[in-house]
Amino acid sequence: MWIAIEKDTKLSLTRQIYIEIRKMIIEGTLTSGQKLPSTRQLSKELGISRNTALEVYNQMIAEGYLEARQGSGTIVSSGLQELKIPISELCNSKKESSSNNDTNIIDFCSGIPALELFPRKDWTKLYTQVCNNLPNEAYGYCDPCGVWELREAIAQYLLRSRGISCDPRRIMITSGSTQGLSLISTLLQKQNKKVLVENPSHPGLLKVIASTGCVIETIPADNQGLDTNLLSSTRDVSFVYTTPSHQYPLGSILSIQRRLSLVNFASENNCYIIEDDYDSEFRYEGQPISSLYELNPKHVIYIGSFSKILSPAIRLGFILLPEKLLLDYKTLKNYTDVHTEALTQYALASFIRTGQLEKHIWKMKKHYSRNRTHMLAELSKQFPDGFEILGHATGLHMVVHFHNVTFTTQLVEELANQDVLIYPIEHYLVGTKQDHGNEILMGYSHLSFPNITKGIQILRNVIGT
């Protein structure tokens, strides 16, 4: 029996011979009932040890390819249906072309924190300390609701930073806010019920909601947030998705009149409000806006995330759920991924408890505030009296209204050709046209001063005078 043995391979000798014999059986070179050489013969023939030969045969007997017959040695098993498809071939391992990492591009996108400021040293030190002190059980399966220490730390953090008082039992840890939104949508998705979302809105998040089977209807948002006057005639609502602290992308704050209308609408129609509070930590004037949740904890589901305030890579977020939904949620989360990664949860709990999170947010806020100020100064320099800022001074982006400029596809492309990416507000609109042609979203959180300057210069040049 001829079997080629290669020495420069990662496969063991046993494995190589096994693969070759199996190939012969599958391809029909060796047929049912056919006798194989004895292990003594095979070892001589191939110049391998008798043990290796024995190991191969035993393995193939265990798997049923071969049979050991008393007196007649080892034979190919009967009933091996001929394989009609070719055995897999070794594919070339080549890295996929990843997304554009061209560092020359100035991308005015929103929502990317200043990644270079991630507190690596403090974080890994804490992670090490925490992991070395955990009880053994912590390395096993954990509660689908999340690590208790983190839920408690978040409850205290919410009280300090947002004035939200809530029971940690209502705090569910999710793998980022996207998972929170996805699970809630799955939970609340019902036939003949619809989901209302703000328009404009984050297109990705609408897809998250739609991908769970929800039927979406939009409600326009303006400089006071979601227009609740347009809700009155709406019935059969499962939930309303809104960003009341900083409308995405417009940046408006939901007015208190509308807040009260909205929570009452939820009570009257027995539906839920999802309050996505994605960036209210970074408010550069005054205190954070109070939450909708406080006004109606039975009908408001609050979503928070650590992607913007710490890092998207750690995938940690949370939701505050009404008591009524807790059990169904827990079951769903359990069947989705059992629970969110636990060691990172323990580390974050400690990061919050020791006050490091708030210290970090404070540092980031100063950084973003400087970037924002720089962007405003550069805009004033390049477009004196030619623009206006919409929305409130919060978050990682601003919306800029340019007098006398319409952001056509052609203009956006021309800028992209010069390595500047901008985001017209019209891209965030669903269906019906609203009057946002002169407005773009401009993220500043992740950009350097020189890039902000250069990007706005190019914007100026391309727009012309």
Return the residues of window 343-372 that contact its own copies according to CB under 8 A: 343-344
- Name the segment binding its own copies (CB under 8 A); options: 38-46, 290-298, 362-370, 421-429: 290-298
Question: Which residues have a Cβ under 8 Å from the Cβ of 32 and sit 6 or more positions away?
Answer: 76, 77, 78, 79, 80
Site for its own copies in 134-163 (CB under 8 A): 136-143, 145, 148, 152, 155-156, 159-160, 163
74 or 340, CB closer to its own copies? 340
User: Measured in whole angstroms, how far is the alpha carbon of residue 3 from the centre of its chain?
Assistant: 49
Smallest CA-to-CA distance from 440 within 415, 407, 416 is with 407
Site for its own copies in 65-94 (CB under 8 A): 65, 77, 79-85, 87-94
Euclidean distance between CA atoms 319 and 333, whole angstroms: 12
Query: Is residue 234 part of the contact set for its own copies (CB under 8 A)?
Result: no
Task: State which of residues 43, 234, 255, 434 lies at the interface with its own copies (CB under 8 A).
Answer: 255
> Beta strands 225-226 and 215-222: pairing type?
antiparallel
CB of 411 to its own copies, least distance (A): 27
Site for its own copies in 9-28 (CB under 8 A): 10-11, 14-15, 18-19, 22, 26
User: Measured in whole angstroms, how far is the alpha carbon of residue 405 from the centre of its chain?
Assistant: 34
Residue 179: phi, psi to the nearest 5? -65, -40
CB of 389 to its own copies, least distance (A): 16
CB of 226 to its own copies, least distance (A): 14
193 or 330, CB closer to its own copies? 330
Query: Is residue 166 part of the contact set for its own copies (CB under 8 A)?
Result: yes
Site for its own copies in 367-426 (CB under 8 A): 392
H or E, element range at 150 = helix 148-162
Query: Is residue 314 part of the contact set for its own copies (CB under 8 A)?
Result: yes
208 or 390, CB closer to its own copies? 208
Question: Which residues have a Cβ under 8 Å from the Cβ of 89 and sit 6 or more positions away?
Answer: none
Query: Is residue 95 part of the contact set for its own copies (CB under 8 A)?
Result: yes
Buried/exposed code over 216-243 (b: 16+ C-beta within 10 A; e: otherwise):
bebbebeebbbbbeebeeeeebbbbbbb
264 or 434, CB closer to its own copies? 264
Euclidean distance between CA atoms 7 and 10, whole angstroms: 9
119 or 455, CB closer to its own copies? 119
DSSP three-state, residue 238: strand
Query: Is residue 457 part of the contact set for its own copies (CB under 8 A)?
Result: no
